[in-house]
Structure 1
Amino acid sequence: MCDEGISDNFLLNIFVRDKFSKMLQELEHYSENEQKEKIEEMNGLVEEMDEEMLDSVVTEELFDNMHKMIKEEKFSMENLVFLLKCIGCCNSMNGRGFLVFERSALNKWMIEMIIDENEKNTEEKNEKLLVDLCECYLVLLYDLPSEFYSIFFPCLLNVASNKDEDKKTQKEVEMALFALCCIGTFSVVPEELYLNKIKEIIEYHQEHRNLTRFAYQSALLFLKDRLNMEEDQWTVIAKEEHFVREVAREMSELMENVDWKKKEEKKTGTKMKDFTIVKRWCSELINFFLCSKVYNEEFVGLIACMTRLCRAAKENYEEITIFCCNDLVNMMRNRPILAIVHDMMEGGAFEFFLEEINRPMLDENSLRLCLMFFIEISSRMKEKEDDEKEEAKRKRLKRHFFERMEEEGFEDAVLSFYKRLDYINRVIMVTYP
């Protein structure tokens, strides 16, 4: 029985934090090889932690203890990197860094090491150490001050440009690209530092398929995040790199590898990694749909893919379904009305949302998403076209939209749709603009 006000989770977090801290302190009593074995055990613990537990374990004190151990030579650099990368990667998959790392002595020491190593001449420089330190820094902090761009970008893009297909190289490339993805989405980076290199990496993979799926995803997301300011920049990935087509193809292939009827905790190995990549796609696409206006014939394939994923995931993976539905709603905005509504109908999104809104037991999240979709599609179809021919097409499409609803037996949905508009506008849209 817990004392009042103290939850079981709170006590569990304290227990795991103390256990992890003790395991770190005990490392100094082992040889370097024995340390690595113990760190593998610690990494296993980290990989099982949720965000709350990870935050309770990874403290400023923990980083300061690591710094003290490395300074006292009780901890090898290789083993420090091994542990830090696991901690950082698990946290960065959720799109966040550790503020406690920014305040720690380890952060200051790591930056000094990176600068010192970078300034050495070619003969003295330890390239692997420099790469490791850059990767650790990025996955732990999830951002990069602009004064370090000229060090980090060439260093990590050189690693990512290695075209060898052996497993060791692929793992190194994967880590370098993932670390680059941890640079803040809205950080403005000079194109000369990255654009040609990353396009070459992406285009070579599209021809030769030399990257792992996770590495390729990181390369595409890195480019997306760097080019999110200007419309002509979005065109680079939408047209030149076929971003939408590639995302749809990757997601479709990955979906086939995942058993959506089983809960996440029962997935292991490759299936778990495939699931993680799909989840990452769904969560990372939002700013592409919100910030850009680009649209082409490749979108209907992505709409169809996301609709299939919504159906597959809705029973056991509500989070993924919510991400996908939000993506589909956001896709409706800022894009040519005739094309996007037509593709939503052709891609099956229209039928999916109609089926959802007619479910007898509809939870609040599902209701909100359904109504947001119908409000968006309805408001877009009210936008009159200046060109007479285009306006005639819009009217035909609008009529077809409601005819399809009636033909498929959704008359009640038509009525309830209008009845709920006032509610969604007054209540839900205030929370979700």
Structure 2
Amino acid sequence: MMEHEDLSLKRQIFLEKLSQLEDCNEDEQKQKIEEINDSFNKMERNEFDFIFSMELCNEINKMIEEKKMNLENALLLLKHIGYIKELHKCQSGSFKFSLLPERIEKMICEEFQKKDRMNKKILVDLSECYLLLIEDFITNDLIVICVPCLLKVALKKEENEETRKEAEMALLALSCIRKCCVLSKELYLNEVTEIIDYHQGHSNPTRLAYQSAWDFLMKRLKYDDNLEDMIVNDLHFWKEAIRELEELRKSVDWKRIKENEKKRNKSNETLVLLRWLQSLEIIFVSCQLWYEEFVVLIGSIVRIFRVAKNREMRVSDKCVFLIERLVNGAAKIEDLLKSSAFDVVLSELVKFDKSNNTINKGLWFFKEICWRLKFKMEQGCDDAKIKELKRKVFERMEEEGYEDCVVGLSCYMIKKGFGVSFLSQVFDKYCVHL
């Protein structure tokens, strides 16, 4: 990892490169911007985070305002910055708190109001820049302009690399629209369904484009539960997610990741895999129905965890987090046991390193198991079946010493005052019943 002084020097050099663009003609400027974009591709994540600053955004804004950089070239630069930022899931607020958003918002509205004289390419580029960079709530006035505009690009079916990359950028930008933004189904549903259906038959979009289409759709679940049946039954989400996860698990070069573990750059396959895991979190929280494919999906997550463990921490941590979320959702305790998901979470507790966050997450998982078993009893479920399930849970913990680990850690956390007193009542009652 670079020292702060090195990063400060690199940021200064980068800003100087930017200022040199004003002395170039349009073609020279474009060439130099392409070179700058290429340098972004080679940056480690922490380096990108440091260089992508409010100062940089304000400098670009100033160059646009003073006509020292033409709009097409500025958008070429900003769109690529947004692409890298979103691919690596960087959260900085540099763009949001700069002077650029207001300028781009105004440009989008002005270009759209030109109607027949509108420059569609400029409108697409402006929309992509804005959505990729904003990290904030988007007004309905902008949504009704940007969403249809980008869906038209994503719907193109020509079998060439340029069209595929255009669709990828458009869908990636759409996937940045936050869950809190309410979209009318008439605005997007038929188009996104067509994009996903077409991919399932032709495999035309890139992996990132396909994942982004699903991600955009998943985020709409927050305000429309009726989408769940269509997503699962009509578009076969679980089957598609399992296939994509398995293919990505096999295509990631895990050995290379281990050999270069100190580097912050990730391969595209690793980044798309992370994005799929993040999308699953959305549907795990929203999905209220249980499907047979869940068991297979849990198995895929467990396999990814095992191959990523000690190689790619962001991936392995996300897998554990997803399994923990499953126990709050529709997952059956029997299936968690059957798929080894139970072992994954509890085995992480054995690595006790006094990390309060790690301990809390693992104990929370166990607390949820206890509460769900208790709830089943109180709801008058089959007493013999519940007792048998409790016995299996207990035996699984006892086999690897997990029971002692959970009890010991719960006592440690209570002693330290970390607020997990639920175990003093839930765990005791659970053991007494056994």
- CA separation in 2, counterparts of 1:416 and 1:238? 38
- CA separation in 2, counterparts of 1:229 and 1:105? 31
Deviation digits for residues 191-235 of structure 1, max 9, x if unmatched? 211112112211221222221110010000100001223433333
- CA separation in 2, counterparts of 1:286 and 1:428? 26
Task: Answer yes or no: is 1:304 the counterpart of 2:284.
Answer: no
Task: Answer yes or no: is 1:82 the counterpart of 2:82.
Answer: no
Aligned to 2:370: 378
Of 270, 281, 285, 2:280 maps to 285
Give the gaps of 5 or more residues in structure 2. Answer: 422-434
Mapping 1:398-409, distance limit 5 Å? 398-405=390-397, 409=399
- CA separation in 1, counterparts of 2:414 and 2:201? 48
Contact 2:308 2:316 in 1 (8 A): yes
Q: Percent identity?
A: 36
Paired AA for residue 335 in structure 2: D
Mapping 1:168-317, distance limit 5 Å? 168-263=162-257, 266=260, 272-317=267-312
Of 413, 418, 425, 2:407 maps to 418
Partner SS state of residue 101, structure 1: coil
How far 1:250 moved relative to its partner?
0.7
Paired AA for residue 115 in structure 1: C
Give the gaps of 5 or more residues in structure 1. Answer: 1-6
How far 1:44 moved relative to its partner?
3.3
- CA separation in 2, counterparts of 1:263 and 1:300? 28
Paired AA for residue 35 in structure 2: E
Aligned to 2:131: 138
Mapping 1:334-353, distance limit 5 Å? 334-335=329-330, 340-353=332-345
Aligned to 1:69: 63
Aligned to 1:127: 120
How far 1:401 moved relative to its partner?
2.7
My pick for the range that moved more, 205-214 or 287-296, is 287-296
Task: Answer yes or no: is 1:18 the counterpart of 2:7.
Answer: no
How far 1:423 moved relative to its partner?
4.0
Deviation digits for residues 86-138 of structure 1, max 9, x if unmatched? 2112223354666443454433332232222212233x222111101110111
Of 309, 313, 318, 2:313 maps to 318
Partner SS state of residue 188, structure 1: coil
How many residues get paired?
Answer: 416
Paired AA for residue 186 in structure 1: C
TM-score, normalised with respect to structure 2 = 0.85
Aligned to 1:39: 33
Deviation digits for residues 3-61 of structure 1, max 9, x if unmatched? xxxx9733223212211111011112334333233223322333444565445433444
- CA separation in 2, counterparts of 1:299 and 1:392? 25
CA 1:52/1:258 → structure 2, altered by over 3 Å: closer, same or farther? closer
- CA separation in 2, counterparts of 1:390 and 1:199? 42
- CA separation in 2, counterparts of 1:362 and 1:342? 30
Deviation digits for residues 213-268 of structure 1, max 9, x if unmatched? 10010000100001223433333323332223322221111010112233378499
Deviation digits for residues 167-203 of structure 1, max 9, x if unmatched? 1111000100010111122111112111121122112
TM-score, normalised with respect to structure 1 = 0.85
CA RMSD of aligned residues (A): 3.0
How far 1:280 moved relative to its partner?
1.8
